């Protein structure tokens, strides 16, 4: 079993829809959780970063962490075609020697 599981998609939704992207994990030691967005042929770009359970909002993006269920989500409101990209979750813990554990990424397609 992988430490971090993420559905590769593709996930295709119409413009304006609310998008939900998810990762599950098995290591209860993970302390911090990140979402990266990666456009085709580009490097990943950090979107959201959180330590704690609960919700964190930034514009149209909301990151949700449920440590009891070992489940994290990224919600995108009012989705735009420019949101079409691969979304990768990543997580780690303080004693991990700076290593992040990555999901494989979900490819998201927003149809105009």
Partner 1 sequence: DAMVIQNPRYQVTQFGKPVTLSCSQTLNHNVMYWYQQKSSQAPKLLFHYYDKDFNNEADTPDNFQSRRPNTSFCFLDIRSPGLGDAAMYLCATSSRGVTEAFFGQGTRLTVV
With respect to partner 1, which residue has the nearer C-beta, 17 or 56?
56
Cis amide bond preceding 88, omega within 30:
no
**CA dist 20 to 7, 23, 43, 63, 108, Å?**
11, 10, 22, 10, 10
In angstroms, give the least distance from the CB of 16 to partner 1. Answer: 27
Identify which of residues 8 and 54 has a Cβ nearer to partner 1 in the complex.
Answer: 8
Q: Smallest gap, in angstroms, from Cβ of residue 41 to partner 1?
A: 7
Nearer to partner 1, 50 or 62 (CB): 50
Minimal distance, residue 62 CB to partner 1, in Å: 18
Beta carbons within 8 Å of 69's beta carbon, 6+ residues apart:
none
């Amino acid at each position: 079993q992988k430490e971090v599981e993420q559905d590769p998609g593709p996930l295709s939704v119409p413009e304006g829809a609310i998008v939900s992207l998810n990762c599950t994990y098995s290591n209860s030691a993970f302390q911090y959780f990140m979402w990266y967005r990666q456009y085709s042929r580009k490097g990943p770009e950090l979107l959201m970063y959180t330590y704690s359970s609960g919700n964190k909002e930034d514009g149209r993006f909301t990151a949700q962490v449920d440590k009891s269920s070992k489940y994290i989500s990224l919600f995108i409101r009012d989705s735009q075609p420019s949101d079409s990209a691969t979304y990768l979750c990543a997580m780690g813990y303080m004693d991990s020697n700076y290593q992040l554990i990555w999901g494989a990424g979900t490819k998201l397609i927003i149809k105009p």
